[in-house]
Structure 1
Amino acid sequence: MAHVSLTAQTRTEFGNGPTRRLRRQGLVPGIVYQSGGDSLPLALPGHDLKRTLVEGRTAVIDLVVGDARPQPVLVKDWQLHPVRGDVLHVDFQQVDLKVEIEAPIPISLVGNSVGVRDGGVLDQPLREVVVSALPDSLPDHIEVDVSELQVGDSLTVADIQVPQGVTITSEPETVVASVLAPTVEAEAEGDEGGAAVEGESESGAGETSDE
């Protein structure tokens, strides 16, 4: 995966007041956790940061801080405004491109399953999987084909195919996706059965009364 470039400046003021001033200037506070060194507080252009998160949050970022040489980092975490969706804070982790790391990767279901065409409901209890790989080999997402799933079938982590150089470290028995039997029809049948029982009960009561 190609690297993404991002520039930043060091941040020397902290607290609510300086942070609000940064955001009014269109900047986002952040931090880089450096391997074997102190963490580095940053201020990043909000527009560029949001574009970076959209284009590839698992991609290696060549982060340039001031006049320093670019350093490879990965997005570790970020916080969003609950209403506007603006990035409020971001954490980066410095990485060694020659050392494997673990990272969560989103799962994308593809295909129209047989079970869904037969009226079943597709359920996806697992939205991401943890993998181990070199930073440059981390996929942006992992596709899981559900085309062959019938009602009652499921796929687990063990069924996922990943690119060469990528190893899944999540529990292999964890269910990724399944096709559930439709519940609406079952509920409707139950209601009809209940109505019939009520009708029979009323009829029986009437016959007893006539006697």
Structure 2
Amino acid sequence: MAEAKIQAESRTEFGKGAARRIRRDNKVPAVLYGHGSDPVHITLPGHDTMLALKTANALLMIEVEGGESHLALPKQVQRDPLKGFIEHVDLVIVRRGEKVQVDIAVHLEGEAVSDTLVVLEHPTILVEAEATHIPDGVTVSVEGLEVGAQIHASDIQLPSGTTLAIEPETLIVNVTAQQTAEQLEADLSEAEAEAGIEKDETQEAPAEEPVPAAAE
């Protein structure tokens, strides 16, 4: 995994007001911590940070003004719920060769047999890998799978050097029968009945338009 270098500034102002001023300057307040060191409060450039964090588990080389550098992974990224811009980033310091636990994406490929529904029970799985060799994700084939087929965590082929950090029997993919329109309607009616929703079956017939009298 390539490292994304980001130039950071030391941060001495804290609180909501200071954070708003930082964001107005198109920058992101952040904190670095880990390996027993005191938290380091920094400010990151907004555009560079946004680009770097488009990649899951992005490995960052944070170069703080004054010559101090830290290799880090994003631990928590807070975004504005409406506009989506980054509000704050928690970064955990890592070392080369160190094993870390991260969630990686599960990608499905292929098609199951007709009239089936492929359910991805876990879109990510927790794995352990070297901080500098975190896989982007894993690909799972569902080609030709029939109703009742299941794929568990232990069935997934992981990249070399990566191991599972969840229970091997964790269900990842489940193949079920695709519901018919009648089954969907029955499920909807049952859900409405449980919720106490009464369906009005009676509908007034549209009024008949008067027939014009025949000309004499």
Q: TM-score range by the shorter chain?
A: 0.7 to 0.9
User: Which one of the candidate residues 125, 133, 157 is aligned to 1:129?
Assistant: 125
User: Which has the higher mean CA deviation after the structures are superposed, 17-26 or 33-42?
Assistant: 33-42
Kept after mapping to 2: 8 A contact 1:79/1:89: yes
Q: Which amino acid aligns with 1:35?
A: H
Give unpaired runs (5+ residues) of structure 2. 188-216
In the TM superposition, 1:162-177 aligns within 5 A as 162-177=158-173
Runs of at least 4 residues off by over 6 Å: 188-191
With the length of structure 1 as denominator, give the TM-score of the two structures: 0.83
Structure (1 or 2) with the greater strand fraction: 2
Residue 65 of structure 1 is matched in structure 2 by 64
Residue 16 of structure 1 is matched in structure 2 by 16
Please report how far the alpha carbon of residue 157 of structure 1 lies from its aligned counterpart in structure 2 after TM superposition. 0.4
Q: Which amino acid aligns with 1:173?
A: E
Q: Which amino acid aligns with 1:164?
A: S
Residue 86 of structure 1 is matched in structure 2 by 85
User: Which has the higher mean CA deviation after the structures are superposed, 167-176 or 58-67?
Assistant: 58-67
Report whether the alignment pairs 1:100 with 2:80: no
Residues 36 and 185 of structure 1: is their aligned pair in 2 closer, same or farther, counting only changes over 3 Å? same
- CA deviation map 1:62-84 (0-9, x unaligned): 11111324321111111111111
With the length of structure 2 as denominator, give the TM-score of the two structures: 0.81
Please report how far the alpha carbon of residue 189 of structure 1 lies from its aligned counterpart in structure 2 after TM superposition. 9.6
Please report how far the alpha carbon of residue 186 of structure 1 lies from its aligned counterpart in structure 2 after TM superposition. 5.4
Q: Which amino acid aligns with 2:9?
A: Q
Please report how far the alpha carbon of residue 41 of structure 1 lies from its aligned counterpart in structure 2 after TM superposition. 0.9
SS state at 1:183 partner:
coil
Q: Which amino acid aligns with 1:50?
A: M
Kept after mapping to 2: 8 A contact 1:105/1:129: yes
Q: Distance in 1 between matches of 2:185 and 2:31?
A: 57
- CA deviation map 1:26-51 (0-9, x unaligned): 01111111312101111111111110
Q: Distance in 2 between matches of 1:111 and 1:182?
A: 17
SS state at 1:158 partner:
helix
Q: Distance in 1 between matches of 2:13 and 2:91?
A: 19
User: Which one of the candidate residues 155, 160, 173 is aligned to 1:159?
Assistant: 155
Q: Which amino acid aligns with 2:85?
A: D
Structure (1 or 2) with the greater helix fraction: 1
Residues 25 and 149 of structure 1: is their aligned pair in 2 closer, same or farther, counting only changes over 3 Å? same
Residue 198 of structure 1 is matched in structure 2 by none
Please report how far the alpha carbon of residue 165 of structure 1 lies from its aligned counterpart in structure 2 after TM superposition. 0.5
- CA deviation map 1:128-186 (0-9, x unaligned): 11111111121011111111321221111011101110001111111111222112255
Residue 196 of structure 1 is matched in structure 2 by none
SS state at 1:70 partner:
strand
The two structures, once aligned, show a CA RMSD in angstroms of 1.8
